[in-house]
Structure 1
Amino acid sequence: MNGTRTRFGRAKFGGTPKTLIALSLVSGIIVAVGFGSVVALTRFTGNPLLAVTVSSVCIAPVSTAGAWALMVDRGSIAGAVERPGESIENHWYAQAAQDTFHTALISVGVLGVASVFWDFSVSGSLMAIYVGSFLMGVFAVAFGLRKLRES
């Protein structure tokens, strides 16, 4: 293997960038179809082929990118940072994660107190969406503020 860096890199186990892309696509599609099959078997019994197809199409890009990330040799990617753990972005990320955790603790406490005075009920799936969206928003704001303040 030569020392040239490419846009998509090379696999950890050798080969060309085309090999890595092909293996990532095949692996990602296999994972996506497996996930789609589980969804069809557990959730949608009316039209399982449609459920497998739609679920697979939705999850394929993410599973393909995940497969690529697991197989790529980081040193073969053009423009990759040598030690990402020591970058300023990593520092901002760690600080924003701490800020988000502290905000989550305070929010749970406030909601606990509010639940004493206000009786409310929310389904589990909606609560997961609300909490996830809230924490992603808090993280985005915290990261942006760290970046603005420290750059």
Structure 2
Amino acid sequence: MYKKPEKKSCGFGRIKPGGTPALWLAIPVGLVAAAVIGIALQSAPIFPHNTMNAWLRALLIGACVAPASIALVWTVVVDRSTIPGALPHPEHSVECTWYDQAAKDSFHLLLAGTGLGAALTSFWLPPMVSWTLIAVFAFAALVFAVSYLVRRES
């Protein structure tokens, strides 16, 4: 009896089960995105003109952005179930618990540090330092309040 050979496993996952490898789509789309970003940034007015060939600058920017853009496209198109060794529910892993706890701890320390720092620097340092710390504290508190309200409503 003839048995159809199974597709070779793909270490970086596939677009869908039995589909093409995700990197086959991620690499060309990521390179095109990197080229577009490189061309857009080289034409931005932040660079002094006539210091370097514009195409060389666009190529260098694109080369720097290419790995991140390929990884981003891969993240969007890959099907997690096709990645060997991937957990079916990573949000229930111990690492996710550690991350959540570290985020909570760092947020509370940020609030305590900026509040205490703003109070102490108002006595000994220029006012700009304490205003900066007050702004960081207010921003963190505002982001927390908005996040809390959004989660309460959902």
Q: TM-score range by the shorter chain?
A: 0.5 to 0.7
Please show how residues 40-59 of structure 1 align to structure 2 within 5 Å. Answer: 40-42=42-44, 43-46=46-49, 47=52, 48-59=54-65
Q: Please give the alpha-carbon distance, in whole angstroms, between the structure 2 residues aligned to 1:81 and 1:50.
A: 42
Q: Which runs of 5+ in 1 are unaligned?
A: 132-151
Report if the CA contact (8 A) 2:17-2:82 is conserved: no
Change (3 A) 1:45 1:98: same
Question: Is structure 2 residue 72 aligned with structure 1 residue 75?
Answer: no
Q: 1:28 aligns to what?
A: 30
Per-residue displacement from partner, 1:93-142 (whole Å, max 9, x unpaired)? 111111121122123223322442212769xxxx9xxx9xxxxxxxxxxx
Report if the CA contact (8 A) 1:75-1:82 is conserved: yes
Question: Is structure 2 residue 126 aligned with structure 1 residue 119?
Answer: yes
Question: Is structure 2 residue 87 aligned with structure 1 residue 84?
Answer: no
Residue 11 of structure 1: SS of its match in structure 2? coil
Q: Which runs of 5+ in 2 are unaligned?
A: 1-5, 137-154
Change (3 A) 1:112 1:67: same
Which has the higher relative contact order, 1 or 2, with Cα contacts under 8 A spaced 6 or more apart?
1
Q: How many residues align?
A: 121
Q: 2:40 aligns to what?
A: 38
Report if the CA contact (8 A) 1:3-1:76 is conserved: no
Report the AA paired with residue 41 of structure 1: S
Question: Is structure 2 residue 19 aligned with structure 1 residue 12?
Answer: no
Question: Is structure 2 residue 63 aligned with structure 1 residue 61?
Answer: no
Question: What is the CA RMSD across the aligned residues, in angstroms?
Answer: 2.7
Following superposition, the deviation at residue 15 of structure 1 comes to 2.3
Q: So what's the TM-score if we normalise by structure 2? A: 0.66
Per-residue displacement from partner, 1:22-47 (whole Å, max 9, x unpaired)? 21011111221222223212221423
Structure label with greater radius of gyration: 2
Following superposition, the deviation at residue 52 of structure 1 comes to 1.4
Report if the CA contact (8 A) 1:39-1:51 is conserved: no
Runs of 4+ in 1 over 4 A off after TM superposition: 2-5
Q: Please give the alpha-carbon distance, in whole angstroms, between the structure 1 residues aligned to 2:59 and 2:127.
A: 38
